[in-house]
Amino acid sequence: MTPLLELDDLRASFPGPDGPVEVLRGVTMSVAAGEKVALVGESGSGKSVTARAVLRLDRDASLSGRVLLDGKDVLGLSERAMRDVRGARIGLVFQDPLASLNPVMTIGWQIMQPLLIRGVKKKEARRRGVELLGRLGVRDADRRFDDYPHQFSGGMRQRVVIAIAVIAEPALLIADEPTTALDVRVQAQVLTLLRELAAERSMSVLLITHDLGIVAGFADRVVVMRHGAPVEQGVVDDIYARPQHPYTRGLLASVPRIDDDPSRRLSTVDEAALEGEVR
Ligand SMILES: Nc1ncnc2c1ncn2[C@@H]1O[C@H](COP(=O)(O)OP(=O)(O)OP(=O)(O)O)[C@@H](O)[C@H]1O
């Protein structure tokens, strides 16, 4: 079966003072329909650039390889065709809900936009928006629909951002560090919501995170990125039980566990132990 999303030797470079700087060095991975895949790796490993390349959001990035959505390469699409992919086929959630929301528009207006621009009538768009917001755990959703972003807490704003991303029922949700800005309790609630939404709608999710602690309860598969390319990928349980790559072992060793001795120092990925490995 054709995977929903398939990246084949995806490369990305940005213009630098001394010529192009390659930040993705051949990313090959896939997300099947209904599958939840976590893209993990330390800061700067290329996780966000990978996600943004799928939607062609970085205008100054020069991309090569293939990004197949339902078997069709989106790298060749016109900007106009890309607009249909964004939102309709792929929804996107970023880390910072405030930056993703327009402060001068009501949250309801923002939630309805993806439907209105696709021709859904306002009354119906509102009905669906209120229902979704309620489903996402916002109490009194009908009244709160006409509030502005500053009237919502951080966790509530992230639910609004999720509502905007999924209201047009995309086949794939890309969530880039969706819970990093939230406190731990709210993080867990938001992840549970994402998991439930994905299950209800058979929606695939590509979750980008540096936090391996949240991956095990969420994803089916994990792709470990380092220096712009995957070093290891597979079923979450297998990778956790038998990490093959020293970098993955290091990442796993740095995950705090509930039964840890609090006096134990957190280990970090040991760069020295990785020396000698081909970069
Ligand atoms: N628009 C850009 N122009 C130039 N370089 C960029 C641009 N966007 C990202 N980069 C570079 O690409 C590399 C990968 O960045 P990316 O944001 O994908 O990392 P990441 O794994 O998502 O890290 P983080 O967890 O910190 O977001 C970094 O070295 C970054 O500086």
How much distance in Å is there from the Cα of 228 to the middle of ligand 1?
A: 9
Q: How far is the CA of 221 from the centre of ligand 1 (A)?
A: 23
Predicted pLDDT at 190: 85
Ligand 1: which residue has its CA nearest to atom 29?
44
Q: Is residue 76 part of a domain?
A: yes
HEC secondary structure over the chain: CCCCEEEEEEEEEEEECCEEEEEEEEEEEEECCCCEEEEECCCCCCHHHHHHHHCCCCCCCEEEEEEEECCEEHHHCCHHHHHHHHHHHEEEECCCHHHHCCCCCCHHHHHHHHHHCCCCCHHHHHHHHHHHHHHCCCCCHHHHCCCCHHHCCHHHHHHHHHHHHHCCCCCEEEEECCCCCCCHHHHHHHHHHHHHHHHHHCCEEEEEECCHHHCCCCCCEEEEEECCEEEEEEEHHHHHHCCCCHHHHHHHHCCCCCCCCCCCCCCCCCHHHHCCCCC
- Residue at 158 is within a domain: yes
| For ligand 1, mutation pick of 23, 43, 179, 211 (most atoms within 8 Å of CB) | 23
126 occurs within a structural domain: yes
- CATH code for position 266: 3.40.50.300
Cα of 56 from ligand 1 centre, angstroms:
14
Which pTM does this prediction carry?
Answer: 0.89
- Does 238 map to a domain? yes
In a domain, residue 279? The reply is no
Please give all residues whose beta carbon lies within 6 A of any atom in ligand 1, as ranges.
14, 23, 41, 43-49, 58, 60, 210
- Predicted complex ipTM: 0.94
- What's the domain count of the chain? 1
The string of pLDDT tens digits covering residues 78-114 is 998 998 888 789 999 987 777 789 999 999 999 999 9
Q: State which residues form the domain around 24.
A: 5-274
Closest ligand 1 atom to residue 45 Cα is 21
> Which of 7, 13, 49, when mutated, tests ligand 1's pocket best, judged by the most ligand atoms within 8 Å of its CB?
49
How remote is the CA of residue 43 from the centroid of ligand 1, in Å? 8
Residue 60 counted as domain residue: yes
Which atom belonging to ligand 1 lies closest to the Cα atom of 210? 25
What ligand 1 atom has the least distance to the C-alpha of 225? 21
pLDDT truncated to tens, each residue of the chain (279 aa)?
789 999 999 999 999 999 999 999 999 999 999 999 999 998 899 999 999 999 999 999 999 999 999 999 999 999 989 988 887 899 999 877 777 899 999 999 999 999 999 899 999 999 999 999 998 888 999 999 999 999 998 888 989 999 999 999 999 999 999 888 778 888 888 889 899 999 999 999 999 998 888 898 899 999 999 999 999 999 999 999 899 998 898 888 877 665 555 554 445 555 545 544 433
Q: Is 139 contained in some domain?
A: yes
